[in-house]
Each structure stands twice: as structure tokens, then as C-alpha cells.
Structure 1
Amino acid sequence: MLLHESVPQNAHGKEESTQSALRHTANCVVMVPPKEFRFNEETAQDNEFQHQVSLTQEEVSHNTMAEFSAMVETLRKEGVQVVEFDYPQSDITTPDAVFPNNWFSTTPEGTLYTFPMACENRQHEVRPGALVAALVQAGREVHQQDSLTEYLNEEAYLESTGVMVFDHFNKTVYAALSQRCDRLVLEDYAKRIGYDRVISFQTRLPSGAPIYHTNVMMAVGEQFCVICDEVIPEFERRFVLKSLAKDKQVISISLEQMNQFCGNILQLETVRGDKVIAMSQSAYDAFSPAQRNQLATHGKLLPFDVSTIESIGGGSVRCMLGEVFLPSRKAVL
């Protein structure tokens, strides 16, 4: 049964999960080259992190491809498997395709889920058939597919790990409610994956608008979390922080640090099992030395210069990484 905790209701009743039975960090990610990247007017309607820049489109394309390629190379060098999903272009451009984590997710049991995207031009990024082919070629098994895209007919949206931040060890989903995160779709997905605890909450920026994606304000690792809790109303904030602090080191960041994408980070593991934490260079620079030291106890810090992508696209390193938890294909002897 799903235990939905729309904060602060149902504050009790969490069932403990054994960490050994679950996996929190992925050692494989999907990344999509930004070959159609530009300022997306559709997403800018509710994404306050996007900015117009004075670069030509040629300069934008050159900078973003260089940022992407350097990130892929470094991740591979560190031992993280990267699946480059370079799909064929069509008549409809997908300027935000570099952020694939918003339209799919995977499970260790071998299921690929696809999600309803709020903006029309982003809905064209959803290419499950082509993605399955790329994943299988990379040695991953896809046993079944499931989709929540039928909710598009109801104008209800759930943008995958953009709006959902998972604590896999405790089978808990944290989600800031917004136009891109519908509560009913959120509950449906949690039921499908067997996660019995959903903690949804409101957020408020200085403009009065909600956070467009939860993963710009918080990240959850195996034993730590980073969160800009000041954007959560006080009554809900206490409950969220109490839940996180049960078994995580809580690293609180300011609104200014969130605007430098300090919340948009991701703990991964290498094929050797070592932990790394991917983040942008701007996030790395905005963390205090003490915060960097705290994070470094949970994995090697990997800062990437994606300044063009994060300024124009309003998303950063974590948004560029679609985690792959699918099982590896066993070699035939």
C-alpha cells in the first residue's frame, strides 16, 4: 500500500527498508548531445533559471558541444559508463534534449518508464524504442516497458527525476509540487515501482512562483542530502528536514547557492564501486569550503564547466544525466 505523505499529514508510519536489498547509486548514465540546443521559450514560462545570452547560435552550439564532450570524457575516465543517445533529428526540434532525465527512468528489475512532459516541444524527446536499442547495445537488459504518458490527455504531468528525488534505500520519493509535478500522477508512479512513501510539498521562490523541478533545490545521496530548505514553507520544512535527517547528513544551501545549481548534483558510482559526485563548476565554486569537505566524504567531487548549458537551458549537470539502473546483460560463454 502506498503511504502518501503530503506534508505534514501522515507524518508517521514509515517502514524501515534494509539498505543491502536496494541500490541507490547508478554506475551508468544516458547523455544526449546538445545538437539542437537553444533557448526554449516554452519551458521559460515557468523556469526562472533560464537566461537569454548575447552569443550567436553558432557560438552556443560550439560551446555546448564542447561542454558535453568534456563531461562524457571525464565520466568515462573516472569509470562511469556513459551511453550517448544520439537520436536522429526530425522536423520538430528538441532544444532541451540534453536533459534526458526528465522523460525516462529505469529500475534494477529491468523496467523502463516514460513520463508525460509539460511542454509540447519536450514531449517529442520521448523516444523509448530508440533508447531501448541504445541501452541494449550498451549491454543493459530491458525486460519490460511502462508509460505514464496517457496522462497527457488529462494535462497532468510528471517529469521523472526532474521532479522526483529518490531515497532508494528507504523507498521514499521527495517531490516539490508544481505544474510539472502532478500529485495524482506522482502517487500512481510510486505505486508502480513499489515505493510506499511519498513526501510532496510546496515551494515558493522570491517571485512567488514554485520551483519548476525538485532536483534544482535538493539532491539525495546514500548518506547525505543537499537541500535549499528556505524555499519550503516553514510548517512543511520541519517535516521534510526531519525525514531526511533520520539517516542522512543534511547540507543546507542558501537561495543564492541554489541559483548556482548547488542542488543539482548527483552521486554516482564507478564500475569499481567507488563513489563520485557530479556537479557543475559553478556549483562547486558556490559551495563553501566546509560544504565541499562534507561532500567529499561521500565521493570524489567531479566539477564540470557547463556554464553555457546551465545559463541558457536552466538546468545543470544532474539534469544531463539519466540514471541507468537496468541489469547488465550476462555474457554468453
Structure 2
Amino acid sequence: MKQITNTILMVRPVGFRANEQTAVNNYYQKELEDILPKTVNARAQKEFDEFVEKLRAVGVNVIVIEDTEKPDTPDSIFPNNWISFHENGDIGLYPMFAENRRAERREDILFLLENQNFEIKNIIDYTSAEDEGFFLEGTGSLLLDRVNRKAYCALSPRADEELVIEFCEDFEYTPVIFTANQTVDGGRKAIYHTNVMMALGEHLAIICLECIDDKKERKNVIAHLKEDGKEIIAITEEQVSKFAGNMLQVEGANGKKYLVMSAAAHQSLTASQISAIEKHSTILSSSLDTIETCGGGSARCMMAEVFLPKK
């Protein structure tokens, strides 16, 4: 069982912009005023292409899917929310909070993977929960410790507790459920995705413990991480707003490990945090300023990890 992979699926945007439907509970999104939508998309494409180039340069296998102009999917650049891939050949399909994000689910992507000799044995589809107003946004909501079979999840309008438990029963994970908050206009509100405040690698966990207001829940999360031998690197809420929780560990050429993040996340880290990370991984960062500002998501959200077996 592997925690990290060297194969990543990414979707190159054609109509990227600030998604008005997700802005209601993604407090990281902002409109870029006085800039034409096509300029925003062109900037996002440039950031995307440079990011892919950096990943490929260190030997990460990046499968790039071109987005289509129709339907209108401004957030298609974040595929990890609608699909997850697993070593036993299973795929999870997830219910999405925003209606215009549901159109991101594309069957042709599955055919493309099969054409590249990946084996898909079983599709576990949770999307009918959308009809009842329940959501679970893939590995945005679920932080998977694939080796120790634990699923960390911060509950929010986009992560329903019953769906988390259903996922854990289907995929044989133990749920580690908690609530993570951020300060918005002086009040505490749920963080929309777990992977904004937490990242999990083979031997490290980057987590904003101060987002977990409930002391019992915080102790429980720490106990699980320590039990599995993860070095805990704590980040602040201020660093979370710079997407320092939105990182992904991947494997490059010759099994070398990289912790992938945005330039803004990298710049927000302290020297001691960087040296703690570098014990486990080389840092790979790329500027994602437009994508972060308008999309309210960062490096980790852009990468759907492919763990499928080869035929």
C-alpha cells in the first residue's frame, strides 16, 4: 500500500474565473476587479502550464486533460474534488456542493485512463446524495492516510458526516472526524475543505491545530497522527490563508519525494518549518497567485492522484 504516487491527473482550464456558486462558503475566493474574464483565464493557464512543467521536470508523470468550453465549469482546474483513484482499481465519484461543479464529472476521462492501460475495476458513486443536499468533495474533504487506512475529515457544508462514514465502510478506512474553523468577520466559520488546513505525507503531517477549536477533537487528531509515526508540523491560521495547508507529497524520478505547494505557501513558511519538511521531502513550489485568488484553491486541489493498477 502506497501513500504517495508519481502519477497525477490535472485539468487545464478554458473558462477559469471566480465561481460565484462556491464563494458562499469558500472565504478564500476574491474577484479580480477590472480584469477581463479571458485575461483571468489566460493567467490561470500560464500558471497551470508552468506548474505542470515543474512537476514533469522532476519526473512526475502528469496526465493533462484539456477542459471543454461547454458546459461552463469555472472550477474544473480542481479535479480532486469529484474523483479519487485507489490501488485496488476502485474509483470514487463524489457529490458536489455547487451545481456548476457537478458538470466537471466526465466519463471520457475514465476512458482516457483505460486507454493508458490503467485498470478500473469498480466505480463507487456517491453523487445521488446531491439530490438530498448532502455533499462530500473527494480528497478535498477526505484526507486519506492510505497506508494506515484512516480518513481525516473536517465537517462542513461540503463534507457530510454520514457520507464520510459511508465512504469509510465502502473503502475500509477508519474515520477521524472533527470540525475546523477560521475567523471570518470576527466569527468562527467552518473551513470548506479539510485539505486547506491539513496535508498528509508518508511521514509528516502539516496541520493547523488552532483551526480545531474543540480540545477533545484536537487531541484525538494529534493522537492518531502520532500513533502512525507522523511528524506533526503545525501551521498558523494566517499561513492557512496563504494555502500552506494545501500541499501534496508526490514521487518524482528515482523515487525522490517532493512536497508540492504554491509560491505563496512556500513564502509563508518559517525557517524551522522548512527544515522540518526538508527532512522528509524536497520542496517544489510554483506561482499560483491568480488560481488561488479567484479559485480559492491551490496546488493540492489541482492534482488528482492516480493510484490505479496497470493492466
Q: TM-score, normalised by structure 2?
A: 0.95
What amino acid is aligned across from residue 222 of structure 1 in structure 2? E
Distance 1:36 1:134 in 2: 22
Q: What is the CA deviation profile of residues 63-98 of structure 1, one whole-angstrom value per residue up to 9, with x for unaligned ones?
A: 1111000111111111111111224332x3000000
Moved over 6 A (4+): none
- Find out whether 1:123 has 2:106 as its counterpart: no
% identical equivalent positions? 36
Candidates 81, 85, 89, aligned match of 2:65: 85
Candidates 12, 23, 26, aligned match of 1:47: 26
What amino acid is aligned across from residue 187 of structure 1 in structure 2? I
- The equivalent residue for 2:73 is 94
Whether the 8 Å contact between 1:39 and 1:312 is mirrored in structure 2 is: yes
Candidates 318, 322, 329, aligned match of 2:300: 318
- Find out whether 1:182 has 2:163 as its counterpart: no
Deviation at 1:118, TM superposition (A): 0.8
Q: TM-score, normalised by structure 1?
A: 0.89
Q: Which runs of 5+ in 2 are unaligned?
A: none
Candidates 125, 128, 132, aligned match of 1:154: 132
Q: Which runs of 5+ in 1 are unaligned?
A: 1-21
Counting matched residue pairs gives: 305
Distance 1:120 1:37 in 2: 16
2:162 counterpart SS class: helix
1:105 counterpart SS class: strand
Distance 2:40 2:208 in 1: 30
Deviation at 1:271, TM superposition (A): 4.8
- The equivalent residue for 1:238 is 219
Deviation at 1:57, TM superposition (A): 1.7
Candidates 246, 261, 270, aligned match of 1:279: 261
Distance 1:77 1:139 in 2: 23
What amino acid is aligned across from residue 296 of structure 1 in structure 2? E
Candidates 229, 236, 241, aligned match of 1:259: 241
Distance 1:87 1:309 in 2: 15
Whether the 8 Å contact between 1:81 and 1:271 is mirrored in structure 2 is: no
2:62 counterpart SS class: strand
Q: What is the CA deviation profile of residues 109-157 of structure 1, one whole-angstrom value per residue up to 9, with x for unaligned ones?
A: 1112111001100011111x21112212333221222211111122111
> Alignment RMSD, CA only?
1.2
Deviation at 1:238, TM superposition (A): 1.5
- The equivalent residue for 1:194 is 172
Deviation at 1:204, TM superposition (A): 2.0
- The equivalent residue for 1:108 is 87
Distance 1:130 1:58 in 2: 26
- Find out whether 1:132 has 2:114 as its counterpart: no
Whether the 8 Å contact between 1:225 and 1:249 is mirrored in structure 2 is: yes
What amino acid is aligned across from residue 37 of structure 1 in structure 2? F
